[in-house]
Amino acid sequence: MRDVSKTIATSLLAAIVGGGVTAGALLGAGVVDGGETTTVIQQAPLSSPGRAVSDGVAGMTARDIYKRDAPGVVFIQARVVQQSASPFDFSGTPQEGQSTGSGFVIDEEGAILTNAHVVDGATEISVTFGDKNVADATIVGKDDSTDLALIKVEPKGLDLRPLEFGDSRSIQVGDPTIAIGNPFGFDRTLTTGVVSALQRKISAPDGYTIENVIQTDAAINPGNSGGPLIDAAGRVIGINSQIATGSGSTGSVGIGFAVPIETAKRVIPQLKENGRVERAWLGLEFVAIDPSLAALGVDAKSGLLVQQAIAAGPAEKAGLRGGDESAVLNGESIVLGGDIVQKLDGRPLKTAEAVRAVLDTKKPGDTVTLEFRREGATRTARIVLGDRPAGRTG
C-alpha cells in the first residue's frame, strides 16, 4: 500500500508511513509552603540511553523537535490524470483525481523531497507550508526505483525552513523516531516511536527492490507519505513511504517503512542534474535455479536461467541467449534452453538480488565480466552495461 489517497474513477488509496509511541517522564518533586507535595511533569529527552547526541542538540524533546522541524514539513496536493482502469472503458479515457501526501524542504532555493508515488501522474502540484502559505510546485525529477521525487517552488516570499539530514547508517534498533506529516489531511501531525528493525526490503512503484529500509512503529498513515522520519537530534534519517496493514485495514498497525536518507543523498544530485537516476543494466530476464528446475533437465545446480536476452540490450549484443522451450514449473510458465548465468564480475549468482547488488556499484558504460554455461561448457562474456530503461529491472 503506497501512502497517498487518490480519488479517481476507481477509488485508489495508497498508504505509506508508520506508527508511534510518545515519550514523557516524571522528573522531580518539590515541597511548597503549605507542606503539600507537588509533582512536576516534564517531557523526557528523546536521546537513546548510552548514546551521546552531538552538535549541541542533546536532550531535545519531541516538543523541541516539532518546534524546530515542523515548519519545514509541507502538505502536498497533486492533481493527477490516470488512464481509466474500468474493464468497460475501452477508450482508455483519462480520469482526473487528487493525490495528497507530505514532503519536506531541503534547501533555501525551494527544493522539496517527497515520495515518487505522491506526485505520480501529476499535472498540477500545490504545496502548503506551516504558515498556511500555498505555492505551486513543479517536478524537478522522479525515481520510481527508490520511490523518491524532488519538486520545487519559487522561494521568493516564502519562509523556507530546510530540515537537516542525519545518517541512517548509524542508527540502531531501539533508537527514538519522530514522524511529522499530514495523515488523512490532518496537517503537521507528530507521532513518535522507535526504530523497530533495520535492513528491511520493500517493493518500489516500478517493482524494483528498495534496500536497507528502516522499520518504525511511529504511527504513519495515508497522507504521511513523503514526510520525514526524524532522529532524537531532529535530523532526517528516512522518508516515510509504506505501511504494513492488517486484513481489511488501510491504517497503521505499528509497522511502517522509511526509505533511508543515505539513499536520498545518492539520488538527489542526479534528480537535480538529470531529472532521473541513471542505473546500469544488463538486459537479461532470468529465474533462479533450484532442485525443481534441475529435475526438468537444467544442467546446473545453481545460478540463473536466462529467460530472455532483451533485443538490442547489452547482454544480447554480447551474445547471451534466452531459451526456446516452454515449460510449467509450480504453476508458472518458464522457458528452458537458455544460458545459465553463474558469476558476475567474479561474484557467484544465486538470486536476482545478487545481480542487482553488483549493478548498484556500476554505472552505464562500465564493462563487466559475465560467466555462464551453455551446452555443458563454461564461457565468459564482456558486457558494456547500458542505461536501464523505465520499467526494467534486470
Neighbours of 304 (CB within 10 A): 26
CB 227, CB 238: distance < 8 Å: no
Q: What share of the chain is helix, strand, coil (3-state, %, to 5)?
A: 10, 45, 45
- CA–CA separation, 214 vs 232, rounded Å? 15
CB 302, CB 350: distance < 8 Å: yes
Q: Alpha helices, DSSP H only, in 192-286?
A: 261-274
Cα Dmax for the chain: 95
Read off the C-alpha cell for 263. 539513499
CB 283, CB 310: distance < 8 Å: yes
Q: List, by residue number, the catalytic residues.
A: 117, 147, 225
CB 233, CB 249: distance < 8 Å: no
Closest C-alpha to 223, from 199, 243, 237, 204: 243
CB 370, CB 315: distance < 8 Å: yes
Neighbouring C-alpha atoms within 13 Å toward the C-beta of 294? 7
Read off the C-alpha cell for 254. 505499528
Classify burial at 79, counting beta carbons within 10 Å of its beta carbon; exposed 0-12, middle 13-18, buried 19 or more. Answer: middle
Closest C-alpha to 79, from 121, 140, 111: 121
3-class SS of residue 59: coil
The four Cα atoms 162, 165, 171, 173 give a dihedral, to 10 degrees, of 30
Bridge partners, residue 81, by sequence? 96
Closest C-alpha to 4, from 115, 83, 145, 137: 115
